[in-house]
Structure 1
Amino acid sequence: MAKVTGTALVTGGNRGLGLEVCRQLGRLGMRVLLSARDIAAGAEATAALRSEGLEVTFEPLDVTSQESIDKLADRLERQGLRLASLVNNAAIALQGFDASVAERTVAANFLGPLHVTERLLPLMEEHGRIVMVSSGAGELEGLSPAIRQRVDPPPSKEELVALMHEFVDDVRGGGYAAKGWPGSAYRVSKLGLNALTRLLAAELKPRHLLVNAVCPGWVRTRMGGEGASRSVEEGADTLVWAATLPPEGPSGGFFRERRAIPW
């Protein structure tokens, strides 16, 4: 692939897919801002990439903390930085299923990308790329009609946020199944993220920003496990592709292996 210029910010970049995305973007010639909640792990990952000759800087970021997001944005603004790419990779997959798991999962996997993207939008270059790291778990197929009609087509952003909070409340109250919700907080968070991708793509079209969701597949990471079918290099490929699309590239799509897949 030809060299790519500009600055890319990757959330959850200290390990797994995020780290490999940072590496591949750096090898393409981009300046990479590797962000992570764990400061020690983020600094170690950054040092490793810099030892490979890549231009990588560590930026502390907890996507579940508005204060942390604001501090990051303020730092970048003071430096006069503009972002060519934003890869919303940070996410969690917790064991079990209860109100606490639902709330924490929605906070990290849906509200995190929403708040990070909204706060960094003023720093995005024209024709910038925003990538949401999603999952096949977020596909609409197999979803109950009651829930599907509430996310497809997506409602307003405010209604979507309220819907995600409603899911958490329904889990807390024990009535989630009767309302048609899946018994997986991870799946619901990715359903919300996919709907958000479609909303943002339409909203940001006048600014010529490209917003897409990517399913990296089942990848051998700490989250995916050692038995997963894909390497981190393979999983990162389509994420890097989406983060380096040309100005005439697609927007508002869901991709796997660089090919569009149904929502």
Structure 2
Amino acid sequence: MAKVTGTALVTGGNRGLGLEVCRQLGRLGMKVLLAARDIAAGAEATSALHAEGLEVTFEPLDVTSQESIANLADRLERQGTRLSALVNNAGIALDGFNADVVERTLAVNFFGVMHLTRRLLPLMAEHGRIVMVSSGMGELRGLSPTARRRFDPPPSQEELVAHVRAFLEDVRSDQYTEKGWPGSAYRVSKVGLNTLTRLLAEELKARHLLVNAVCPGWVRTRMGGAGASRGVEEGADTLVWAATLPPDGPTGGFFRDRRAIPW
């Protein structure tokens, strides 16, 4: 692939899929901002990429903290940084299902992505790309008809947030089944993320920003487990592709193996 210029910020970049995305983007010639909550792990990962000759800077970031998000954005603004790509890779998948699991999952996988993306939009360069790391678990076909109507067609962002918060409250009150919700915090978080992708893609067309969701497949990471069918190199491929699309590339799509898949 031809060399690519610009600066990319990758969240959850200290290990697994995020680290490989940082590596591949760096090899293409991009300056990479490796963002992670774990400072020691983030610094170690950055040093490892430096040893490979890549231009990578560590940026501390906890996507569940609005203060941390604001601090990151302020640092980048002071430095005059313009982002050519934002890869929202940070995510969690917790065992069990209860209100605590739902709240923690949504805080990272949905609200963290939403707040960070909104805060960094002023720093996105023209023709920049925003990549949402999603999952086949977020496909609408996995929802009941009742739940699906909440997300498709996409409501306003305010309504989307209200629906996601309602899911949490329905789990707290043990009414989620009768309200049509699945018993999976991860699934709802990714459905919400996909819906946010569609909303942002439409909103940001006037700024020529490309916003897409990508399912990397089942990847051998700490989250995916040792039995997963794909290595990180294969899993990262479509993410890197979406982060380096040409100005006339697709927007508002959901992709696996560089091919569009149904929402």
State the partner residue of 1:128: 128
SS of 2:252 mapped into structure 1:
coil
State the partner residue of 1:141: 141
Shift of 1:143: 1.2
Per-residue CA distance 1:106-152 (angstroms, 9 max, x = gap): 11000011001000000000000000000000001131111101100
Summarize the alignment of residues 97-116 of structure 1 with structure 2, pairs less than 5 Å apart: 97-116=97-116
User: RMSD of aligned C-alpha atoms?
Assistant: 0.4
Shift of 1:162: 1.1
Per-residue CA distance 1:145-170 (angstroms, 9 max, x = gap): 11101100111001101111110100
State the partner residue of 1:159: 159
State the partner residue of 1:223: 223
Unpaired runs of 5+ in structure 2? Answer: none
Shift of 1:69: 0.1
Matched residue type, 1:24: Q
Per-residue CA distance 1:60-117 (angstroms, 9 max, x = gap): 0000000000000000000000000000000000010000000010110000110010
State the partner residue of 2:176: 176
Matched residue type, 2:162: A
SS of 1:57 mapped into structure 2:
strand
Q: Which runs of 4+ in 1 moved over 3 A?
A: none
Matched residue type, 1:186: Y
Report the TM-score when normalising by structure 1: 1.00
State the partner residue of 2:32: 32
SS of 1:74 mapped into structure 2:
helix
Residue 207 (str. 1) matches residue 210 (str. 2): no
Identity %: 81
Residue 95 (str. 1) matches residue 100 (str. 2): no
Per-residue CA distance 1:155-207 (angstroms, 9 max, x = gap): 10011011111101000100001111010000000000000000000000000
The whole-number CA distance in structure 1 between the counterparts of 2:146 and 2:91 is: 26
Report the TM-score when normalising by structure 2: 1.00
State the partner residue of 1:196: 196
Unpaired runs of 5+ in structure 1? Answer: none
